[in-house]
Structure 1
């Protein structure tokens, strides 16, 4: 036991702690440049520690971005009641939340989200669509065109909603549509969304 105590005393005699709690060998204090060496080591350790704290804070406060934009590649004739629109031409899908095969956006992380959609209605008829969050209707658009040739209608909607991770957002027809949903080079039926925070 006495040997262990003497060993610890000898070790402690060769080490000092500065005011920040960093252990400094006594050998560094000897000589003309010892003060500068100690200051340099302290500043270097503080900079490293501050950098790590800042990186951790930014990681916590800035979640990965989430955003998507997609449109229908082709027009859809007379969608039936409860028909899901598939926006199969994906231009942006940051966070990989949007599925181009099902038309469903699945929130990869919780947060406040914005969704917007535009539906183009073809000649001589009516269209109506709901936007769902899971199984709840949160918004709707309705379009109607008369018998005039080349009469088209454009209807847009948007919602802001708080989502949990894995909540689903999608668009389905609210009625049996009596005309085309138009999507071509002149007018794109589209769906987009992004997380605000």
Structure 2
């Protein structure tokens, strides 16, 4: 049985232009070398100018740093955890689509005890998704959580944001990562 190790071989005292894999048997005797195939997806062999690196995925993930009482407005997630496409503005809470394509958006809202609210995913002001949570049960004093997922085809420059809904337009978002969890907003482009 042959035990293979990769190493560069030298012929007639000088390295050859082509790289080879030399195989050694258990006794250490060289077996006929085989040329290495250079290809664009093999980062270990081949010239660097021929390597192709994968395109960076466009994605963002933001959260509320603390609990926040919101009244009839856009929810501004002030803690940016990831933003590879540089589209999220933490000053106004709006994500500007960096390039056209199909995107997945998800948001999680934690509702305060005895509170009720609706959140809406809006694209250029038009409602494209919604989520509703009702924690008004007076017999159970606990926080309630809701998560929604929306898949959309968007154009470059579209404005995407989460705002309070028309039905229940105010509420307290809980964001206590060490105890109860975070209210978050995320999105990524499907390649």
Smaller-chain TM-score bracket: 0.5 to 0.7
After superposition, what is the alpha-carbon deviation per residue over 1:80-123, rounded to whole angstroms, capped at 9, x for unaligned?
22x11111111110010111111111111111111000011101
Conserved? CA contact 1:123–1:179, under 8 Å: no
Find the counterpart in structure 2 of residue 172 from structure 1.
Answer: 163
Larger radius of gyration: 1
Moved runs in structure 1, 4+ residues, more than 4 A?
51-55
- Provide closer, same or farther for how the CA distance between residues 150 and 106 of structure 1 changes in structure 2, counting only shifts above 3 A: same
Structure-1 residue corresponding to 2:5 = none
Q: What are structure 1's unaligned runs of at least 5 residues?
A: 1-39, 41-46
Match of 2:121 among 126, 131, 144: 131
Partner of residue 84, structure 1: 74
Alignment of 1:183 onto 2:156? no
Aligned length: 145
In structure 2, which of residues 85, 88, 93 is the aligned counterpart of residue 98 of structure 1?
88
**CA-to-aligned-CA distance 1:148-172 (integer Å, 9 cap, x gap):** 4632111111111111111111000
Please give the root-mean-square deviation of Cα atoms over the aligned residues, in Å: 2.5
Normalising by structure 2, what TM-score? 0.67
Which structure's residues are more often helix, by fraction?
1
Give 5+ residue unaligned stretches, structure 2. Answer: 1-17, 19-37, 39-46
Tell me, in whole angstroms, the C-alpha distance in 2 between the residues paired with 1:130 and 1:153: 17
Q: CA separation in 2, counterparts of 1:178 and 1:52?
A: 56
2:131 aligned residue (141, 144, 153):
141
Residue 65 of structure 1, CA deviation: 2.0
- Whether 1:196 and 2:190 are equivalent positions in the alignment is yes
